[in-house]
Structure 1
C-alpha cells in the first residue's frame, strides 16, 4: 500500500471540461482522456459511505499548488465503496487531459462519511484533519496523447476504518493507486477536405460500430477503441467522390494513424 497523508487547505484550481464520450470528431492535439474510478477491497461492514466532493490531479513535479487540475465530477455524492468489488467500479470523473506526467492525485471528501456495522448501526466517520480534508496520493504516471486511461483508486476498507475504543470510528483512508491504458484509437486526415461520414467497425465479435466526421482541416480521431482489427469506411454525400475503405489495427497505448486518406 502506498502511504497517504491529509492536507488541510485546498488551493483554487482550473476547471477541466467534462467530456463523457468515447470518440471525438477531430484530432485532440496533445490531449488524452482520463477516467477516475473507485474500487474497494472487502471489509467486515455492511456499508462504508464516502462523501466524494472533488478529484484533483497534479501535473507538475513537487508540491507546487499551481500544478493541481480539477476534474469535474460526474456526480458529487456519497459512494458506498463496498458495492465496488469483483470487477465493479464507480466512475467519478471522465475528462480530456493534457498528455505528459502526472505525479499526484488529491481526493477531497465532504462531511457525510459513515460506516454501517453488521448489526445495522450507522456510525459517523471522523478524519484527523476535519471535514474538508484532501487526501493526497502518489501516482507518477506518463500519459500518452490520444490514449484513454483509467486512474483507479483502490480503497482498502479493512485498513481504513479504525475503531476508537469508545464505540466511535475514524476514517484514515488507505488507498492504492494505479493507472492503466484501457484503449487506443484511430486517427487520420481526409483529402481533399470534405465532410464524409466515417464509420469505424470492429472486424471480430463483439461487432461494434463508431462514427465520426472530419474537422475543418480534414482531421479525424476516434478514441476509446478496444485492441483489435477495424474496418474504416468513408461514406461521401458529395457525388464528386466515391466511398473508400481502409483497414487498421488498434492496440492499447497506441493510436493507429491512417495518414492522409485520398478521396477520389
Structure 2
C-alpha cells in the first residue's frame, strides 16, 4: 500500500462560542475560532463532505454547532484563506474535544478524472480531536487544526483512494511557522521540517506561486528539506530556529 505524497488545503472553520446555558460552569461568554489549514497538492480538487461539527466542554456537555453542511473543495482554502462553516454558543470555559462528522460524498480529481475517496465508517461517524483548551473571556480564543494530507490520503491501487484523516490541534499562541518560497515557480515540491531535538517531522507542499508554509511548529531548531520531483535534487537547510507566534522566513530557495 502506497501513501500519496501531497499536502492539501483544508477549510478554516471559525466557530464562535458564547454563553447559553444556566447550568453550565460559569456565566462568562467566550469567543472561539477553530481553523483548519495546509497547502495545496497535486490533485486539482479534494472534495470533503462535512456534515456536522461538535464540541465538548469540561462538564461533558456536547454542543452540536449550527453547521453549513456541504461538500468543500479543500484546495479553495490555502495560504491563510478560510471559510465560516459553523457557529454556536457555549458558556463552559474549556473545550476538551472537537468532533467533525463526515458524509460519504468525498472525491479527488486527478488529471481531470474524478475518483471516489472512500472513508472508513469510523471517520464518518466522527473525527475526535482532544484539545483541552482553556478559553478566556473578552479575547479572541483560537485554535488551528492542521490537516496532514501527506498522512491522510492513501492510494490503494487501480485508481482508488482512501481518506484516512490525520489532524492535529495547534495552539497558535505557543507555536510558530516556517515560511519561504522556491524558484522556478511551478515546481512541485514537498517541504519537511524535522525537529533536531524530538525528531518529529511536519510537512507541507509548495503552492502554484512557489510559496510554502509549515505551520504549528513547537518552538525549537529544525532541519528543513525541500524535495522536488525528479530529476531535481532536494535542498536542505539546517539550524532553522522557530519561535512561538513568529513566522520564520527562510527566503527563496533556488533549484
TM interval, shorter chain, is 0.5 to 0.7
The correspondence for 1:154, drawn from 132, 141, 146, is 146
Whether 2:111 is the aligned partner of 1:113: answer: no
| Cα distance in 2 between the residues matched to 1:45 and 1:164 | 16
Task: Summarize the Cα distance change of 1:67–1:99 in structure 2 as closer, same or farther, 3 Å threshold.
Answer: closer
1:259 counterpart residue number: none
| Cα distance in 1 between the residues matched to 2:122 and 2:158 | 19
When structure 1 is superposed on structure 2, of 148-157 and 159-168 the one drifting more is 148-157
Task: Summarize the Cα distance change of 1:37–1:105 in structure 2 as closer, same or farther, 3 Å threshold.
Answer: same
Runs of 4+, deviation exceeding 3 Å: 18-21
Provide the secondary structure at the position in 2 that maps to 1:96: coil
| Cα distance in 1 between the residues matched to 2:172 and 2:148 | 19
Provide the secondary structure at the position in 2 that maps to 1:164: strand
Whether 2:72 is the aligned partner of 1:79: answer: yes
| Cα distance in 1 between the residues matched to 2:163 and 2:131 | 22
Whether 2:100 is the aligned partner of 1:94: answer: no
Gaps of 5+ in 2: 1-14, 19-25, 174-255
| Cα distance in 1 between the residues matched to 2:31 and 2:133 | 14
Report how many aligned residue pairs link the two structures: 152
> Deviations along 1:82-131, whole A, 9 cap, x unmatched?
221111122222333224221111100111111111x1111111122268
| Cα distance in 2 between the residues matched to 1:59 and 1:129 | 25
Matches within 5 A, 1:15-30: 29-30=27-28
| Cα distance in 1 between the residues matched to 2:76 and 2:54 | 23
Contact 1:36 1:93 in 2 (8 A): no
Whether 2:64 is the aligned partner of 1:31: answer: no
| Cα distance in 1 between the residues matched to 2:125 and 2:117 | 13
Contact 1:53 1:109 in 2 (8 A): yes
Matches within 5 A, 1:93-242: 93-117=86-110, 119-129=111-121, 132-180=124-172
- When normalised by structure 1's length, the TM-score is 0.51
